[in-house]
Amino acid sequence: MALTGRTPLLALLGALVVGLAAPSWAGVLLVTLAVLVLAAVDAALAGAVRPLELHRAGDTSVRLGEQARVDVLVTNPGRRRVHGLLRDAWPPSAGAASQRHRLQVAAGDRARVSTLLRPTRRGDRHAYRVTVRSVGPLGLAARQRSRQLPWTLRALPPFASRRHLPAKLAQLREIEGRAAVMVRGQGTEFDSLREYVPGDDVRSIDWRATARRSEVTVRTWRPERDRRVLLVLDTGRTSAGRVGDAPRLDACMDAALLLAALAARGGDRVDLLAYDRRVRARVEGAPAPALLASLVDAMAPLEAELVETDLAGMAATVLARGGRRSLVVLLTGLEATPVEEGLLPVLGRLLHRHTVLVAAVSDPRVAELADARGDAATVYAAASAERARAERARLVELLRRRGVEVVDALPDELAPALADRYLALKAAGRL
């Protein structure tokens, strides 16, 4: 039961009747009773809400920043028309354009109510309740009822670094084409034999094949294919810190997606592991065409947890996978304590089996603080920022000396920088 604005308005008109015609308690009682009885009758005559059949249809996932549509299908099996409002309640971060809709369903008919959603945050958004308010024929009162009608809309990572992909793919093709003949050595594999043309490196002439055939034959080489790349997302507290407006984790995901797209085209196998103190997400052995979709789907609900990442446990998980040598890309925040206490002790075993690349998101705010001058407060801040930078430089140096590749870049630059480093490693045959 709910009232509409007409009921108080009617009661207000009743004030005129009471004031002019019946100035007594009896008059007040009579007028109020009349208003209430009218409202009750109106509510009784309103179309029933309980027997309404509600169903959902529409999008189940949307890339962050784009718009999705989720429908509610209302079927009215009752004998009276249902006329009024329907509210499809979503949490604020689902970004519903409008949650209230006019509802008009004749008896035995059905109607469709669409809610447009533009999520403001990555992750799963759950529909909350559907509330229907059915107004009576006089428009004085309404029946109202809320019902659970579950639906989940998954807001996928935006993959903003997509725009870098064409340029990086061109570089990848260049490496492959150049390597066909000219480059030879570690990291390349035998491809085929073909006839010698002037300009070929004489060192690549295959004398045995030349002897068997009547013409001079050379061997061709191509960069190694079917290597393995393991993307490891750190979802611990260092990834929760916000750089600019977004947590570090989002920049890491963006870089991971670009690298995955590139590596899949380069013929490598890409796996994903998200870890803080336990495995939070894992994608293994996804076929290349569906790789990005499954990665994005696995990343969507991930949120950084406010716990210290167990880097030793992470390394153990990576080692437990066994299998061939891989490029392990660790996307993290690069902080002294977890790296020194967690990663360094196990780094030896990790490097023994795999190539390790650490990609870290640096904070432009630190550089900003370091350059600021003015009063004592800003100079102290600058000193603190310099110390943080020195600490970070020391860590990078430490990791490099142990044979770890390190990419330390601002959030916007991390994805292309990581892709470049991958291409360089591939060209050098170090995968």
Partner 1 sequence: MTAGTPATDSASLAAGAHPADVPADAPAAVTAAPPGSGSANHLPRPPHGTLLQRARRFRAPAALAVLVLVAGLALALAANGRTGSLDPRAASPEGSKAVATLLGREGVDVRLVRTLDEAVASAAAGDTLLVAQPDLLVEEQARRMAEVPASLVLVEPGQGFLDVVAPSVLEAGQSFDSARDPACPFPTAERAGRAELPGRVYSVRPDSATAATGCYPDASAAGDAVALVRLEPASGARSTTVLGSSRPLTNAGLDEEGNAALALGLLGEHERLVWYLPSPDDVPPGARRALRDLLPDGVEFGAVQIALAVVLAALWRGRRLGPVVPEPLPVVVPAAETVEGRARLYRRAHAADRAADALRTAAAGRLASGLGLPRRAAPPDVVEAVARATGRSPAEVGALLYGPPPGDDAALVRLASDLDRLETEARRT
**Separation between Cα atoms, residue 114 and residue 112, nearest integer Å:** 6
Of 286-325, binders to partner 1 (CB under 8 A) are 303, 305-308
Q: Can residue 158 be called a binding residue for partner 1 (CB under 8 A)?
A: yes
Shortest CB 52 distance to partner 1, Å = 14
Of 342-361, binders to partner 1 (CB under 8 A) are 361
In 150-179, which positions are buried (b, 16+ CB within 10 angstroms) versus exposed (e)?
A: ebebbbbbbbbbeebbeebeebbeebbeeb
Which residue type is seen at 246? A
**Separation between Cα atoms, residue 424 and residue 431, nearest integer Å:** 10
Q: Can residue 16 be called a binding residue for partner 1 (CB under 8 A)?
A: yes
- Decide if 275 contacts 235 (C-beta within 8 A): yes
In the list 2, 41, 205, 288, the residue contacting partner 1 (rule: CB under 8 A) is: 2
Q: Can residue 384 be called a binding residue for partner 1 (CB under 8 A)?
A: yes
In the list 75, 104, 114, 146, the residue contacting partner 1 (rule: CB under 8 A) is: 146
Shortest CB 26 distance to partner 1, Å = 10
**Separation between Cα atoms, residue 399 and residue 358, nearest integer Å:** 9
Of 65-94, binders to partner 1 (CB under 8 A) are 65-66, 85, 87, 89-94
Q: Which of 145, 152, 155 is nearest to 54 (CA)?
A: 145
Shortest CB 127 distance to partner 1, Å = 10
In the list 70, 113, 143, 144, the residue contacting partner 1 (rule: CB under 8 A) is: 144
- State the binding string over 237-256 for partner 1 (x if CB under 8 A, else -): x--xxxxxxxxx-x------
Dihedral angle, C-alpha 258, 261, 262, 265, nearest 10 °? -170
**Separation between Cα atoms, residue 366 and residue 377, nearest integer Å:** 15
Q: Phi and psi of 65, rounded to 5°?
A: 100, -10
| Of 119 and 187, CB closest to partner 1 | 119
Shortest CB 374 distance to partner 1, Å = 8
| Of 31 and 404, CB closest to partner 1 | 31
| Of 398 and 428, CB closest to partner 1 | 398
DSSP letter assigned to residue 107: T
**Separation between Cα atoms, residue 136 and residue 83, nearest integer Å:** 8
Q: Can residue 143 be called a binding residue for partner 1 (CB under 8 A)?
A: no
Q: How far is CA 158 from CA 121, 234, 258, 305, 341, in A?
A: 10, 19, 11, 21, 34
DSSP letter assigned to residue 121: S
**Separation between Cα atoms, residue 318 and residue 259, nearest integer Å:** 19
Name the segment binding partner 1 (CB under 8 A); options: 119-127, 172-180, 291-299, 348-356: 119-127
Structure tokens at 368: 């900003």
Tell me the torsion sign for CA atoms 244, 248, 250, 255: positive
In the list 291, 299, 369, 419, the residue contacting partner 1 (rule: CB under 8 A) is: 369
| Of 107 and 393, CB closest to partner 1 | 393
Q: Can residue 376 be called a binding residue for partner 1 (CB under 8 A)?
A: yes
**Separation between Cα atoms, residue 294 and residue 8, nearest integer Å:** 56
Shortest CB 302 distance to partner 1, Å = 12
- The partner residues of 220 in beta bridges, in order of sequence, read 192
Shortest CB 337 distance to partner 1, Å = 9
Q: How far is CA 75 from CA 48, 58, 109, in A?
A: 12, 17, 6
Q: Can residue 106 be called a binding residue for partner 1 (CB under 8 A)?
A: no
In the list 224, 268, 363, 408, the residue contacting partner 1 (rule: CB under 8 A) is: 363
In the list 133, 154, 164, 228, the residue contacting partner 1 (rule: CB under 8 A) is: 133
Name the segment binding partner 1 (CB under 8 A); options: 213-221, 316-324, 384-392, 421-429: 384-392
Q: Can residue 119 be called a binding residue for partner 1 (CB under 8 A)?
A: yes
Shortest CB 200 distance to partner 1, Å = 42
- State the binding string over 177-196 for partner 1 (x if CB under 8 A, else -): --------------------
Dihedral angle, C-alpha 37, 42, 44, 49, nearest 10 °? -140
Structure tokens at 377: 């407060």
| Of 172 and 314, CB closest to partner 1 | 314
| Of 91 and 403, CB closest to partner 1 | 91
Of 255-274, binders to partner 1 (CB under 8 A) are none
| Of 2 and 344, CB closest to partner 1 | 2
- State the binding string over 387-426 for partner 1 (x if CB under 8 A, else -): xxxx------------------------------------
**Separation between Cα atoms, residue 28 and residue 380, nearest integer Å:** 74
DSSP letter assigned to residue 200: S
